[in-house]
Amino acid sequence: MYICLKLKMKSLFTIILFLFLYPAAAQTGRIEGRVECEGKPVEFMVVGLTGTNFSSITDKNGAFSISEIPFSKYELQFSMVGYEKIKRNITINSSDVIRLKQSVVMTENSLNTVVITGTMQEISRSESAIPIEILTPKLFLKNPTPSLFESMQMVNGVQPQLNCNVCNTGDIHINGMEGPYTMITIDGMPIVSALSTVYGLSGIPNSLVNRIEVVKGPASTLYGSEAVGGLINIITKNPIGAPILSVDVFATSDQEYNTDIGLKFKVGKAHSLLGINYFNFNNVMDKNHDGFTDITLQNRISIFNKWSFERKDGRLANIAARFVYEDRWGGQTSWENKWRGSDSIYGESIFTSRYELIGIYQLPVKEKIFFQYSLNNHDQNSYYGTTSYMANQNIAFAQLYWTKKIIPTTELLVGLPFRYTFYDDNTTGTQTGDSNKIVNKPQQTYLPGIFVQTETKYKKITALAGLRYDYNTIHGNIFSPRLSLKYAMNSDNIFRLSGGNGYRVVNLFTEDHAALTGAREVVIQNDLKPEKSWNANLNYQKFITMAKGFLEIDASAFYTYFSNKIIGDFITDPNKIIFDNINGYAVSEGVSLSVNATFVSGLKMNLGGTYMKVYSVEKNEYGVSERHPQLHAPDFSGNYSISYTFNKAQVTIDYTGNVKSPMHLPVVPNDYRPQRSPWFTIQNFQITKKFRGQFEIYAGVKNIFDFTPDDPILRPFDPFDKHIEENNPNGYSFDPSYNYAPMQGRRYFIGIRYNLYE
């Protein structure tokens, strides 16, 4: 009787439990949708219901699906590093599949973008103690250019500066400091420096760039003494995440042709990305009728190949190689290659070939130890009128670094870098001896070193302290201390304060193109001492989340003090450039402000401005201190980019440009040209139409108002100074260095872009 009753009770309990659970199991639903950003699917986005374990991750098409959701009201959240979070209220009250009618459009959040420049590890930008500006190829596509050099004109506080109106050589200024003070690295390795800074920047195609990280101010602890003015770190694409095929081709009304092709493939467990860039401009133009080409003619090819290897232990292993060849010339419009080096018709002709190898390998040990290496050869065969400049540079770089969390709040980074530089040319820069016997002596520099950096976090404060020691075989011991502090009031309000020391050795013949034009004699007044600098930077970031978008405000104040600064004197003698350490000091100081706004509606704005003073203070022959402004350093410069996307039509309009205040220019005594440039602006417009299958067509106009400088070349009719004594009361001589803006006027462009993903 007892046993029977027990069985009946158990059966009854089972029936009651089934009756309770069955409706619950049956009353569930499913939600599906798609996530995109700027018309492209977003992969690996986390989509979940707040407060529950129901979640999904988007696939390569941006699609997600969450099933077996009990009937109720929920908050659906979309989140991923680098994007602004989106939340939506949703009700599940039917077993039918709920499909979102429209794709969820995400907006990028630059504060959460991953960066590596400050610590050599991937961390969120908002977590970095060093203020780092992130530039993605999306910014550069708003005004397509054939090289990285031209693309940087869209960055606040960064100024690509042309230094010659004949061969169009240039460098990149950061906060008013000239190009040699800016270190340019590829994947963290210093392979674009010294000789290659003159023409090497033009050979970096946009197709290989994943993002660019910019540090304004010395970054000496991790990257060496050359990074006095700032650092531009080009992060190349990972072959695993790159498109199978990418093509970007455009042409302009000036007959410029640029082609970027990227191809991804896999061999065994190795992923490879092959990138090819070809640029051709062979149209002789002379719109100002001075007898000289307005724009240098160029024929350039760049081939890039990167391999990423899958390892069983999941550790990092990459290797990449690049080859660049360029033939460029500028000069009198009738010049031909047969006049190269002669004094019949003036021309500046430069043949450049460059090889690079870079790689990183994570050692198969318990600790996080990485080995980085790079090799490059840069060869330049050039004539500037009758002046030949034949130069060769080889740089070998290797670095072993170890990172470890020594206590829960402190990360330690220790590195052992080594750099070898071989440089040879046919100038006095690599010669020794006296007038009786001059011997060629290439420069060979060995630079071993060690750096230690600690990052400590305590509540809202992060402290990044570092010390670097290098031994230069020519100049001896070099110490570079650096300290950065970050105070985060909350995730939306961040203050950063950093300071440090910089040290730079100068090579005039690779850094000052005016020394090669043949128009002036180069005079080195005394034995040049290395330059030293101290820098401080205060940065504030504010992030404002709005109902339909977000706003980022970035403000900085900077100050750099130089001793032993080397400045070329173009004014004292019109036939000479006199180099010497100044008898005094130099300063670069100023403030900058950037505002980025992104709205779900499709409107995006990027506005920036920098106000600065860059000058030197020297004692004259009477012992009185005099202040001299630096050439080519405008007090104010601004950049802007305004875009709007019509989502239904898949059409985007981009309006970009920059504005610069007057800057001091290299005039000669009794020069009839102004000592300062006028205010000017370069503005561009583009319209892009997207089609299905990641196909785009774009067109627009550059330099809408057709602005070009007046009288950029002095005495262009007598480039060899053969008739300098004739009708020349002011003693002028040929000089092409009076430059402050590109000589290329209004031009129209059209292009196509296609990306094929797996």
What distances in angstroms separate CA 269 from CA 239, 274, 320, one per listed residue? 12, 16, 16
Token couple for 443: 């420069």
Q: Is the pLDDT of residue 469 over 80?
A: yes
Instruction: Tell me which of 221-230, 542-551, 645-654, 743-752 is least confident.
Output: 221-230
Token couple for 222: 């991790």
What pTM, to 2 d.p., does this model score?
A: 0.80
What distances in angstroms separate CA 59 from CA 62, 76, 136, 244, one per listed residue? 5, 18, 23, 17
How many other CB atoms are found less than 10 A from the CB of residue 421? 20
What pLDDT is recorded for position 370?
92
Could you give the 3-state DSSP secondary structure of residue 35? strand
Contact 554, 527 (CB under 8 A): no
Contact 151, 159 (CB under 8 A): no
With tokens 């005099």, the residue in question is: 626
Q: How far apart are the first and last CA of the chain?
A: 69
Query: What percentage of the chain has pLDDT greater than the value 70?
Result: 81
From CA 373, how far away is CA 356, in angstroms rounded? 11
What pLDDT is recorded for position 316?
82
Instruction: Tell me which of 79-83, 586-590, 621-625, 639-643 is least confident.
Output: 79-83
DSSP string, 561-583: EEES-EEEE-SS-TTEEEEEE-S
The distance of Cα 509 from the centroid of its chain, to the nearest Å, equals: 25
Contact 688, 696 (CB under 8 A): yes
Contact 577, 522 (CB under 8 A): yes
From CA 742, how far away is CA 666, in angstroms rounded? 16
What pLDDT is recorded for position 570?
62
DSSP string, 67-112: EEEESEEEEEEEE-TTB--EEEEEEE--SSEEE-SSPEEP-B-GGG
From CA 716, how far away is CA 733, in angstroms rounded? 9
What pLDDT is recorded for position 351?
93
Q: What are phi and psi of 25, to 5 degrees?
A: -70, -35
Mean pLDDT value of segment 197-207: 64
What pLDDT is recorded for position 511?
46
What distances in angstroms separate CA 105 from CA 91, 108, 140, 539, 600, one per listed residue? 20, 10, 21, 31, 7
Residue-wise pLDDT for 737-749, tens only, equals 888 888 889 999 9
What distances in angstroms separate CA 233 from CA 241, 319, 396, 594, one per listed residue? 20, 17, 18, 20
The distance of Cα 386 from the centroid of its chain, to the nearest Å, equals: 35
What distances in angstroms separate CA 232 from CA 129, 509, 557, one per listed residue? 17, 23, 19
Reading phi first (left if > 0) and then psi (alpha if -120 to 50, else beta), residue 44 is in left
Contact 683, 718 (CB under 8 A): no
SS (H, E, C) 260-317: EEEEEEEECCEEEEEEEEEEEECCCCCCCCCCECCCCEEEEEEEEEEEEECCCCCCCE
Contact 462, 455 (CB under 8 A): yes
What pLDDT is recorded for position 220?
57
Give the residues across from 300 on adjacent strands.
279, 326
What pLDDT is recorded for position 121?
60
What pLDDT is recorded for position 71?
85
What distances in angstroms separate CA 273 from CA 64, 266, 653, 707, 752, one per listed residue? 28, 9, 31, 39, 21
What pLDDT is recorded for position 597?
87
Residue-wise pLDDT for 471-526, tens only, equals 888 778 888 888 889 999 887 899 999 888 877 766 555 545 545 554 556 666 66
Mean pLDDT value of segment 418-429: 84
CA angle, 253 as apex, 340 and 276 as ends, to 5°? 70
Mean pLDDT value of segment 281-292: 92
Residue-wise pLDDT for 54-69, tens only, equals 777 787 678 888 888 8
What pLDDT is recorded for position 702?
96
Complete domains list, the chain, with CATH:
12-105 (2.60.40.1120), 111-230 (2.170.130.10), 231-756 (2.40.170.20)
pLDDT level of residue 108 (50, 70, 90 thresholds)? low
DSSP string, 387-425: EEEEEEEEEEEEEEEEEEEEETTEEEEEEEEEEEEEEEE
Residue-wise pLDDT for 302-360, tens only, equals 999 999 988 877 788 899 999 999 999 999 999 999 999 999 999 999 999 999 999 99
Burial class (CB in 10 A: 0-12, 13-18, 19+), 100: middle
Burial 491-510 (b: 16+ CB within 10 A, else e): eeebbbbbbbbbbbbbbbbb
H or E element, residue 680: strand 680-691
Residue-wise pLDDT for 236-274, tens only, equals 888 877 888 889 999 999 999 999 998 999 998 899 999
Instruction: Tell me which of 142-151, 173-182, 317-326, 455-464 is least confident.
Output: 173-182
What distances in angstroms separate CA 675 from CA 403, 631, 666, 672, 736, one per listed residue? 52, 10, 7, 9, 15
What pLDDT is recorded for position 307?
92
Q: Is the pLDDT of residue 574 over 70?
A: no
Token couple for 380: 């330049």
Mean pLDDT value of segment 575-587: 75
What pLDDT is recorded for position 660?
94
How confident is the prediction for the chain on average, in pLDDT?
A: 82
Q: Is the pLDDT of residue 112 over 60?
A: no
Contact 169, 331 (CB under 8 A): no
- Of 182, 198, 276, which Cα lies nearest the Cα of 233? 182
Mean pLDDT value of segment 685-696: 88
Of residues 490 and 192, more confidence is placed in: 490
**Most confident range, picked from 19-33, 47-61, 689-703:** 689-703
